[in-house]
Amino acid sequence: GAGVSQSPSNKVTEKGKDVELRCDPISGHTALYWYRQSLGQGLEFLIYFQGNSAPDKSGLPSDRFSAERTGGSVSTLTIQRTQQEDSAVYLCASSLVGRRDRYEQYFGPGTRLTVT
């Protein structure tokens, strides 16, 4: 079946511009996660959506970052007034929740953001 898809695959933007990154999770997956991966760094958690619950935004680095998930499916991560330090690969993952023995997250290919 189809995996997690993300668009665009690459985005180059000028400092100060806003960008929107899109994630289509696996159909039926109730949980959706956004991570940021900087060069040589591990994955940094940004935000987590689970069903209709309020999202866990504890990982968002500043108020320039926001995300929404419409209809429990597609999610958009928005970065306002981009800065050079925002340059990274933004990864989206989805998973089934409720199975106590599984925490497997399925990742998309990522969006490589470059802020010039």
Partner 1 sequence: QKEVEQDPGPLSVPEGAIVSLNCTYSNSAFQYFMWYRQYSRKGPELLMYTYSSGNKEDGRFTAQVDKSSKYISLFIRDSQPSDSATYLCAMSAYGSARQLTFGSGTQLTVLP
- Is residue 29 involved in binding partner 1 (CB under 8 A)? no
- Is residue 105 involved in binding partner 1 (CB under 8 A)? yes
Among positions 64-93, residues that touch partner 1 (CB under 8 A) are 91, 93
Amino acid at residue number 82: T
- Is residue 56 involved in binding partner 1 (CB under 8 A)? yes
Which DSSP string do the residues of 74-85 spell out, in sequence order?
-EEEEE-S--GG
Instruction: Using CB under 8 A, pick the residue from 7, 13, 50, 87 that binds partner 1.
Output: 50
Using an 8 Å Cβ cutoff, are 74 and 24 in contact? Answer: yes
- Is residue 60 involved in binding partner 1 (CB under 8 A)? no
How many residues touch partner 1 (CB under 8 A)?
29
Sorted by sequence, the CB contacts under 8 Å of residue 91 that are 6+ apart come out as 6, 34, 35, 36, 37, 43, 107, 108, 110
Q: Minimum distance from CB of 46 to partner 1 (Å)? A: 9
What 3-state class would DSSP assign to 107?
A: strand
Amino acid at residue number 114: T
Residue among 10 and 15 whose Cβ is closer to partner 1:
10
* Nearest CA-CA partner of 25 in 43, 7, 45: 7
Q: Where does this chain bind partner 1 (CB under 8 A)?
A: 4, 31, 33, 35, 40-43, 45, 48, 50, 56, 59, 91, 93, 95, 97-98, 101-110, 112
